Amino acid sequence: MFRVLSRAGKGKKTASGSRLGGEHIMNRSARFVKSGDEFLLANVYAPCDDGAKQELWDSLSARILLTGRERVCICGDFNAVRQPEERRSSRGSQRSVDIAPFNHFIDENNLIDLPLIGRKFTWFKGDDLVMSRLDRFLFSEDWCLTWPNCKQVANLRGLSDHCPLVLSTSEEDWGPRPSRMLKCWTDVPGYNSFVKEKWNSFHVDGWGGFVLKEKLKMIKAALKGWHQAHVQNLPSRIESLKERLLVLDQKGEEEELTEVELSELHGVTAGIHSMSRLHASISWQQSRSLWLKEGDANTKYFHSVLAGRRRRNAISVIQVGGVTLEGVNPIRQAVFSHFASHFKNSNMERPGVDNLQFKRLNHVECSSLIKHFTEAEVKSAVWDCDSFKSPGPDGINFGFFKDFWTELRGDVMRFISDFHRNGKLTKGINSTFIALIPKVLANRLRLVIGSVISESQTAFVKDRQILDGILIANEVVDEARKSKKELMLFKVDFEKAYDSVDWSYLDKVMESMSFPTLWRKWIKECVGTATASILVNGSPTDDFPLERGLRQEDPLSPFLFLLAAEGLNVLMEAMVERNLFVGYSLGESDPISVSHLQFADDTLLMGAKSWANVRALRALLVLFETMSDLKVNFNKSMLVGVNIPESWLGEAASALCCKVGKIPFLYLGLPIGGDSRRLGFWKSVLERLKNRLSGWTSRFLSFGGRLVLIKSVLTSLPVYAFSFFKAPS
């Protein structure tokens, strides 16, 4: 028996309309009494027989089409799952014949399957050895646009074999969302003169960093008031103008309008046009649909993208130590406590790097890092950044700097010069300039980093490509197969790699590479004075200090991570040199030893089959973790063998506490050791294309928009794979 509880939100009572039924379905047309919104509710109890289920899907599709309702909710026990992960059995065998027809029914009717909160499965067999997600709510696109905060929660099942599902649209106040500068502001008459006048009127005393921080804070407050006066509440203002336009049109139908009324009519029409463009621009920016050219006024599509992203990122329930937490304050406090603790330094004694043989910078390279900053250099760094992408915590983006560079450059250059001299960032400035100072430093570092990073690392270094590592890995596997050599590969999984880098270790590595003292001081100030806050359902928590790790959005972080990861390369080279680890010998006449490949935190270790190598791998990774605080997640790491017995591979994996993988396996997003002539090889590419096409938001696009989607997005998805592998004809 199917059991579902639905709750339409506080105070949202429903009135029933016509009711249609069948053996496995009950339809009901209903409306909310207060709002008058009508919808179709279908309650399903699907049969077990696959043929009967297909008849049910066909019947449901016909009824949805027949009713013509835009807002549709279908709920119940569908007796089918959407993917193998939604079904678990102790015997290991999984039924999959019902997956494709069920997914086809959902896609054909443009239905939305919301994430399930609270549980993974909704049905449990008596012995709890078999479980599936058979129950769910499915919604039409217009339902999700009308009630974007819908969520389905699985409650305790008690003695039943089904969990009751609760549907809710209740909203909770998670706090204010951070404000963002909008691209459309530049289209509003008077914006440029307002900013210039305000900026030039600000008078702040102090050193350069403090002055610039305070001025930006003041301009942000001024723009908040300006936004409320000129841009806020555009939909309601547009509706007011339309109502006035209706009055003038109706009067014009009865009598000739006066010159004053005609002038007003033209003004109202122009106002609707300009405000509609502003509204479309805001929706476009909030949706982050950068592939779709701004100017497409498909606000329904933009709203659907935004609503979908917020729904995917929404947190309604979390579990901490086995305890379920709900509500705004408990969830916000738990998130804050987790991340504040996660970024704390363990303060443990770590082995030094003095005995490791790192490559070193020469005198000319050192001098290029610490020379005085020029305006051209700073301006180039600003113009290299996207104008409206990923604004900092204060909401100020690089588009603002570009638009008003003439007014800002004096304050910016004074701040930059002061930083060069004393290497200090005033409190709070590292939130505002999450990218400015690091971008300038990153541009200098990228020019010299190739001198200290080994060829085994192929990320973010000039003249090195991601495909280099894929090419080498495939060559090694192919040769081992053809020559019948034994090959052992270990794919390393680092746990939250960027978050874990120990700053003292990084500084010691840079010292060993001969980085200048002033440069190391700058880097220490950039990473060591940073604070962070966590967006919980769009609202930031309080700030907390960072004591380790590298910020993901910081332009310096990828290069600093390469320096940290170089320690693993140096350790491996030392072990190979001392014959503690034996790499794989590639080639016959003039063999080359290959022991490891690195692309940022994607690391692949390879060598000959031996227990000595297994023990050396474990020792190497544990030592590197102790030095750098980059923790290896052995449970998620993978050991793969070529021409190695499965029994030996299983014992070695047990010793390493990792799982056993098979050829082909994914490295850097592409299969290693696969046959590109087979269709199954391209399954991951086809899945990505299918997922993008089945995204419900794309159905709101016009035919022109869909054409752009195909040309600019879908055609780019397989390019990466095509750059290395030839697709079958």
* Rounded Cα–Cα distance for residues 10 and 170 (Å): 6
Token pair listed for 353? 């790097």
Task: For residue 712, give its domain range.
Answer: 679-723
Do 408 and 465 belong to one domain? yes
Do 123 and 199 belong to one domain? no
Lowest mean pLDDT among 188-192, 504-508, 611-615, 716-720: 716-720
Mean pLDDT of 510-527: 95
Do 491 and 581 belong to one domain? yes
* 72-77 and 38-45 strand pairing: parallel
Per the document, the length of the chain is: 729
pLDDT at position 4: 38
Mean pLDDT of 204-219: 90
Mean pLDDT of 104-131: 85
Lowest mean pLDDT among 109-113, 263-267, 314-318, 549-553: 314-318
Q: Is the pLDDT of residue 528 over 50?
A: yes
- Inside any domain, residue 560: yes
* 5-6 and 165-168 strand pairing: parallel
Do 581 and 660 belong to one domain? yes
pLDDT classification of 6: cutoffs 50, 70, 90: very low
- Inside any domain, residue 336: no
Domain ends where: 143, 169, 195?
169
- Inside any domain, residue 513: yes
* Rounded Cα–Cα distance for residues 571 and 505 (Å): 14
- Inside any domain, residue 193: yes
pLDDT at position 7: 37
Do 639 and 706 belong to one domain? no
309 vs 225, which has greater pLDDT?
225
Mean pLDDT of 637-643: 95
pLDDT classification of 391: cutoffs 50, 70, 90: low
Q: What is the pTM of this model?
A: 0.82
* 130-132 and 87-89 strand pairing: antiparallel
pLDDT at position 241: 93
Most confident range (mean pLDDT) of 52-66, 101-115, 286-300, 650-664 is: 650-664
Residue 6 burial by Cβ neighbours in a 10 Å radius (0-12, 13-18, 19+): middle
Do 74 and 164 belong to one domain? yes
pLDDT tens digits along 691-715: 766 554 556 666 666 676 666 666 7
Do the beta carbons of residue 136 and residue 162 sit within 8 Å? no
Average pLDDT, whole number, for the chain? Answer: 86
88 vs 449, which has greater pLDDT?
449
pLDDT classification of 298: cutoffs 50, 70, 90: low
22 vs 187, which has greater pLDDT?
187
pLDDT at position 145: 80
Mean pLDDT of 343-357: 89
Domain ends where: 125, 142, 169?
169
Domain ends where: 124, 146, 169?
169
pLDDT tens digits along 241-271: 999 999 999 999 989 989 999 999 999 999 9
Q: What is the DSSP string of 433-455?
A: TSSHHHHHHHHHHHHHGGGTS-T
CATH number of the domain bearing residue 35: 3.60.10.10
- Inside any domain, residue 389: yes
Task: Return the closest-CA partner of residue 141 out of 697, 690, 693.
Answer: 697
Do 135 and 229 belong to one domain? no
* 5-6 and 14-21 strand pairing: unpaired
pLDDT at position 713: 66
Q: Is the pLDDT of residue 9 over 50?
A: no
Mean pLDDT of 389-397: 72
Q: Is the pLDDT of residue 729 over 50?
A: yes
Q: Is the pLDDT of residue 193 over 90?
A: yes
pLDDT at position 368: 96
pLDDT tens digits along 551-565: 887 889 999 999 999
Helix or strand holding residue 145 (H, E) = helix 141-146
- Inside any domain, residue 354: no
Q: Is the pLDDT of residue 16 over 60?
A: no
pLDDT at position 1: 32
- Domains in the chain, number: 4
pLDDT-above-90 percentage for the chain: 48
Q: Is the pLDDT of residue 315 over 90?
A: no
* Rounded Cα–Cα distance for residues 309 and 284 (Å): 14
Q: Is the bond leading into 664 cis (omega within 30 degrees of zero)? A: yes
- Inside any domain, residue 279: yes
pLDDT-above-70 percentage for the chain: 88
| Residue 412 region by backbone torsions, left for phi larger than 0, else alpha for psi between -120 and 50, else beta | alpha
Do 507 and 642 belong to one domain? yes
724 vs 4, which has greater pLDDT?
724
Do 257 and 372 belong to one domain? no
* Rounded Cα–Cα distance for residues 93 and 349 (Å): 49
- Inside any domain, residue 333: no
Do 257 and 378 belong to one domain? no
* Rounded Cα–Cα distance for residues 2 and 647 (Å): 46
* Rounded Cα–Cα distance for residues 44 and 77 (Å): 6
Residue 604 burial by Cβ neighbours in a 10 Å radius (0-12, 13-18, 19+): buried
Do 667 and 684 belong to one domain? no
* Rounded Cα–Cα distance for residues 711 and 697 (Å): 17
Q: Which long-range contacts (CB under 8 A, 24 or more apart) does 264-272 make?
A: 268/241, 268/244, 269/245, 271/241, 272/238, 272/241, 272/242, 272/245
pLDDT at position 514: 96
pLDDT at position 612: 96
pLDDT tens digits along 451-502: 999 999 988 888 888 888 999 999 999 999 999 999 999 999 999 999 999 9
Mean pLDDT of 131-153: 87
Do 375 and 286 belong to one domain? no
Q: Is the pLDDT of residue 131 over 80?
A: yes
